[in-house]
Structure 1
Amino acid sequence: MSEHTGHGPHHDGHQGLHHEGTAGHGHGRGGAEPDWDVMAPLLERNAEISGEQYTEAARWIASLPTAPKVRRLLDIGSGPGVISCLLAEVFPEAEVVAVDGTPALLERTRARARRLGLADRVTTLHATLPAGLPDLGEADLIWAGNTLHHMGDQRAALAGFAALLRPGGTVALVEGGLQVRQLPRDLGFGRPGIEARMEAVEAELFEEMRAELPDARREAEDWAALFGAAGLTPQGTRSFLLDLPAPLGDAAREQVIADFTRRRAGLGDHLTAEDNAVLDRLLDPEDPAGLHRRPDTFLLLARTLHLGRRA
C-alpha cells in the first residue's frame, strides 16, 4: 500500500496505478525513467483516494496487543509520501522516514510534510534497495507496501527488514489482495470480460519483471512461513477494502481514466485488435459509453496486510 510505480499483482505501475511508490527500481520496462511531473500527481491522487483504507490498516496495527511503541518508522518505497504522512498522523510519537530511490518523489514527500505541518517528524532517505537496506537504521515499524515483490530475493530482503527491527518491532507487509475492478463484465459492446483479460496479461508481465530482477528467486507466497524464516513471529493478516460504488466522484473517475490510459499504452501489444478498440472507445471523452461519461464506472479492490514481529 505504498506508492509503487512498478509491475505488481495489482498492475501497480506501468499498466496501472493501484499502489504508489518505488524502492530504487521502479522504472519503466527497458529502464526508461518515468516522467515524474506526470506520474507523481497520479500517484498522489491514487493514495489520497485510498486514504481511509490506509488509515484503517495503520490503526489496526496500532490497536494490537503486541503493537510496538513506534518511535521510528521506515516507509519502504514511499513514493511521493502520501502514506508516510498518514502514518505520521496515526503514530504521533514516531519519526517517519520515507525511503525511496527517486529524488523527485522524495522532494514531493518533503513538500507534503511541510504543508501538513509534519516536517519535523517526516524525513526522507534516498536509497536503492535491497542493497541499501543495512544503511536505513533501526526501526520499530517497517511499512513495505507492495515493495518486496520488486526485490529478486524476497526471502533475503525480508531478513534484511527483520535485521533492522528493534526488539518487539513489526514488519507490515502489503502483498496480495484482490485485483481491481472498475467496470461491469459486459460493457454492452466488445467481448465481455476485458478487465479479466487485461489482468491475465498483467500477470504474465509481472512474472517477466520478477524473472529479470537481480538475484531473482521464486518463492511460494506463504508470507507467514517467510516471516518465520526471517526470524519473525506472524502477527496476523487482514484485507482492507476500497469500495467506491457508481457513480464515481470526479477525482476517482479521473483516476480510473488515468489507469486505463496507462494500461492501454502498456498492454496494447499484448491484446487483440478487438480489445484495443474497446479500450480506445472507453478512453474517448466524446463517447457516451466511455469512461468519461458512463454512469456505471466504480472502483473496487482489496489490499492485504501481513504482520510479523521480532521477539
Structure 2
Amino acid sequence: MTVTGHGHGHEQGHGHRQDRGHKQDHGHGHGHGHGDIDWAVMAPVLEQNAEVTAPVYREVAAWLRDVRTVHGGGAAERGDDPALIVDAGSGPGVVSCLLAEAFPASRVIAADPEEALLARAAARATRLGLADRVGTHRAELPGGLGELAPADLIWAARSVHHVGDQVAALTALAERLAPGGVLAVLEGGLAPRSLPRDFGVGRPGLQARLDAANEEWFARMRADLPGAKETTEHWPALLTAAGLRHVATRSFLLDLPAPLDDAARAHVVATFERYREFAAAPDSTAGLAPDDLAALDRLLDPQDEESLHRRADLYLLTAHTVHVATAR
C-alpha cells in the first residue's frame, strides 16, 4: 500500500505520498509505479505539505479521542489514550508526531516502505522530544504490519486507494486491530480551490477542468494496480465488509484565506506542478486544451506577475473526510 504527494481530493492530504498521492499526496507523488523517485529529495516537500494541513490533523485527533470514548471498548471508553497507534503509510512522520502529541500516553509507530522517509520520521521525533514514544517500522502495507503488536488505533490517510483490492486492504488493516480497536481511514473529501473562478489568465473555470484531468489520472492509476478491482467507494460499507463496525464519518475543512504564508503558497505551487506533470506525461489522457496548458505555464512561471508565486488572491480551501470503524 502506498500513497502520494500533491494532488487534489484523492491525493492531497497526508504529508506523504499525496498527499505517492497521492500520495496524498499525498499526493503527496509517491505512488504505485514510481520506484525511481528519490525520497530523500522528495521528503522535505512531503513534510511541508503535511505541515500546511496540520490544523486538520489536530482536529481529527481530537475527534478520534471523542469517537473512541463513545464507541470504543475498555480503556477507550474510560477515555484512556490508545496504547499503540500505527500510522500506516506514514511518510516522513509529520502526522505520526502530531498523533503522539495529541495522545501523550500512546506509543506511535510510523510504518512505511521507504527508508529515507522513515529516517526523516525518526529525526522529527527526536527534534520534537518524542523519540521515546515514536518509533519506525519498514514494511510494505498493509501486510507488513503483521510484525507489530495489535494496534488500538490505526491511521490510514489516502493509502487504501493505492491497493488494487481495497476491501482486502481494509480487511488486512482490521486484522491488525486489538479488541475494540479503531481504524480511521482518510479517503475522499473535496478537491482544493486556490484561485477565483476567473483569475485573469485564460478561460474561467480552470480548476474544474484540472479536477477532471486528475480524475482521469486517478482512474488509470487504479486500473493499473496489481489485482485491481472496481469498487463502489462507499467507505462505510467497505469498512463493514472488512469485518468492522462503522461508527462515524466526518469532514474537516482546511480554510486558509488570502494572503497565504510562504509554506501554504509553496504547497499550492507544488499541487499545480503536479497537475502540469500529469498533463505532460506521455500516456496522459488529460485532454487539457492548449490554452489551459499555457495558463498553467504562466501560473508556474515565477517571473510572471500573474503566477502563483506572486498573486495576492491565492488561498487554499479543501475538505478531508475521515471514516472510522471499530473492531467487533
TM-score of the two chains, using structure 1 as the length reference: 0.92
Identity, in percent, stands at 50
Confirm or deny: 8 A CA contact 2:24 2:158 kept in the other structure.
no
Structure 2 letter corresponding to 1:79? G
Deviation of 1:192 (Å): 1.2
Q: Give aligned pairs, total.
A: 307
Confirm or deny: 8 A CA contact 1:8 1:206 kept in the other structure.
no
Superposed CA RMSD in Å reads 2.2
Confirm or deny: 8 A CA contact 1:6 1:27 kept in the other structure.
no
Q: 1:21 and 1:248, CA in 2 relative to 1: closer, same or farther beyond 3 A?
A: closer
Q: Distance in 2 between matches of 1:105 and 1:180?
A: 25
Q: 1:204 and 1:3, CA in 2 relative to 1: closer, same or farther beyond 3 A?
A: closer
Deviation of 1:18 (Å): 4.8
Confirm or deny: 8 A CA contact 2:4 2:22 kept in the other structure.
no
* Matched residue, 1:19: 25
Deviation of 1:124 (Å): 0.6
Q: Do residues 288 (structure 1) and 328 (structure 2) align? A: no
Deviation of 1:196 (Å): 1.1
Q: Distance in 1 between matches of 2:311 and 2:138?
A: 42
Q: Distance in 1 between matches of 2:5 and 2:22?
A: 8
Structure 1 letter corresponding to 2:208? A
* Matched residue, 1:265: 277
* Matched residue, 1:94: 106
Name the structure, 1 or 2, with higher relative contact order (CA <8 Å, separation 6+): 1
Q: Do residues 118 (structure 1) and 127 (structure 2) align? A: no
* Matched residue, 2:52: 49
Written as runs of structure 1 = structure 2, the 5 A alignment for 1:126-165 is: 126-165=138-177
Q: 1:57 and 1:306, CA in 2 relative to 1: closer, same or farther beyond 3 A?
A: same
Q: Do residues 298 (structure 1) and 298 (structure 2) align? A: no
Q: Distance in 1 between matches of 2:206 and 2:236?
A: 34
Range moving further from structure 2, 257-266 or 134-143: 257-266
Q: 1:72 and 1:17, CA in 2 relative to 1: closer, same or farther beyond 3 A?
A: closer
Helix, strand or coil at the partner of 2:71: coil
Q: Do residues 248 (structure 1) and 260 (structure 2) align? A: yes
Q: 1:169 and 1:71, CA in 2 relative to 1: closer, same or farther beyond 3 A?
A: same
Correspondence for 1:66 among 52, 67, 71: 71
TM-score of the two chains, using structure 2 as the length reference: 0.87
Structure 2 letter corresponding to 1:26? H
Confirm or deny: 8 A CA contact 1:141 1:169 kept in the other structure.
yes
Range moving further from structure 2, 123-132 or 236-245: 123-132
Q: 1:83 and 1:178, CA in 2 relative to 1: closer, same or farther beyond 3 A?
A: same
Unpaired runs of 5+ residues, structure 2, are: 13-17
Q: Do residues 309 (structure 1) and 326 (structure 2) align? A: yes
Confirm or deny: 8 A CA contact 2:89 2:111 kept in the other structure.
yes
* Matched residue, 2:15: none
Q: Distance in 1 between matches of 2:158 and 2:318?
A: 14
Deviation of 1:230 (Å): 1.7
